[in-house]
């Protein structure tokens, strides 16, 4: 018997990776129903993952995505501190099912609740197994004024370090490589967003943005994308995009 929500989530992801799509769909929906009762943002993530399971079966995933949009709209009205974020999540769901006009209306509504981004330089966690790339990124970040920079060379180390930061009350920005020696970036991102759905994750990869695993990770909630090799300006743009998209 599965003892925790995290175990169920990992099992559902395993089913999805192994094309056991019906089992994955049922488990994601079970998780979603529980979190909807708790008014937790994670419910929307589970519904979107359930929609991916249906899509992989060749079925229309629209129902689950619309259910996620409806859930986010309810949260927008119930939690003033998360109104902007909830409206934007709902708008993204509606865009995915082609309801462009309604999505734009909701996006305009979200603008009424934009908080002014803080100028405080946050903790940055760089996750990459290449020492040369870590040195390059740290150099860029220091030039951009960041001085609290932490690093991890594999997925397990990253999960432990970032989870510790979150538990201590910090809100780090994660620069995440997709190709790690133990866990792939999409697996790391999924686990992190499971515990903190609004975590800021910038993907750093040699893949094209249209690559399936990149699109999947962006769909889970990562906020920006930088393709290797990249310049300091491209990194700055990604950081700016991330901060502007956040709810404070």
Cis peptide before 58 (omega within 30 of 0): no
Quick one: pLDDT at residue 240?
79
From the list 100, 98, 150, 143, the residue with the least C-alpha distance to 124 is: 150
pLDDT of residue 248: 40
Pick the residue with more confidence: 243 or 200?
200
Report the C-alpha gap between 47 and 25 in whole angstroms.
Answer: 9
Say if residue 118's pLDDT is above 50: no
Q: What tens digit of pLDDT does each residue of 49-74 get? A: 999 999 999 999 999 999 999 999 99
Specify the range with the lowest mean pLDDT, choosing from 49-53, 72-76, 139-143, 191-195. 191-195
Q: Which CATH superfamily is domain 124-244 in?
A: Response regulator (3.40.50.2300)
CA–CA distance, 198 with 186 (Å, rounded to integer): 16
pLDDT, tens only, 153-189: 998 999 999 999 988 888 899 998 888 888 887 888 8
Rounded average pLDDT over 189-216:
76
- What CATH fold (topology level) applies to the domain 5-111? 1.25.40
Q: Share the mean pLDDT of the chain.
A: 83
For the chain, which residues make up each domain, given as ranges?
5-111, 124-244
d(CA 80, CA 216): 29
Residue 189 burial (C-beta neighbours within 10 Å; 0-12, 13-18, 19+): buried
């Amino acid at each position: 018997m599965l003892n925790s929500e995290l175990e169920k989530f990992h099992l559902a992801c395993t089913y999805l990776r192994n094309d056991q799509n019906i089992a994955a769909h049922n488990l994601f929906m079970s998780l979603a129903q529980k979190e909807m009762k708790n008014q937790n943002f994670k419910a929307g993530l589970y519904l979107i993952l359930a929609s991916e399971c249906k899509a992989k079966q060749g079925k229309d995933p629209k129902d689950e995505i619309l259910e996620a949009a409806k859930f986010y709209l309810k949260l927008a009205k119930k939690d003033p501190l998360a109104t902007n974020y909830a409206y934007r999540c709902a708008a993204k769901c509606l865009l995915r099912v082609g309801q462009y006009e309604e999505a734009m209306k909701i996006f305009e509504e979200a603008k009424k609740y934009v908080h002014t981004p803080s100028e405080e330089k946050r903790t940055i966690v760089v996750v990459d197994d290449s020492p040369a790339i870590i040195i390059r990124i740290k150099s860029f970040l220091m030039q951009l004024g960041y001085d609290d920079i932490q690093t991890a060379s594999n997925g397990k180390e990253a999960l432990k370090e970032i989870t510790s930061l979150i538990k201590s009350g910090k809100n780090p920005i994660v620069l995440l490589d997709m190709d790690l020696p133990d866990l792939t970036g999409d697996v790391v991102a999924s686990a992190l967003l499971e515990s903190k759905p609004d975590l800021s994750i910038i993907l750093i990869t040699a893949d094209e943005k249209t690559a399936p695993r990149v699109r999947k990770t962006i769909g889970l909630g990562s906020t920006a994308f930088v393709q290797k090799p990249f310049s300091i300006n491209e990194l700055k743009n990604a950081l700016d995009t991330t901060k502007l998209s956040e709810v404070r």
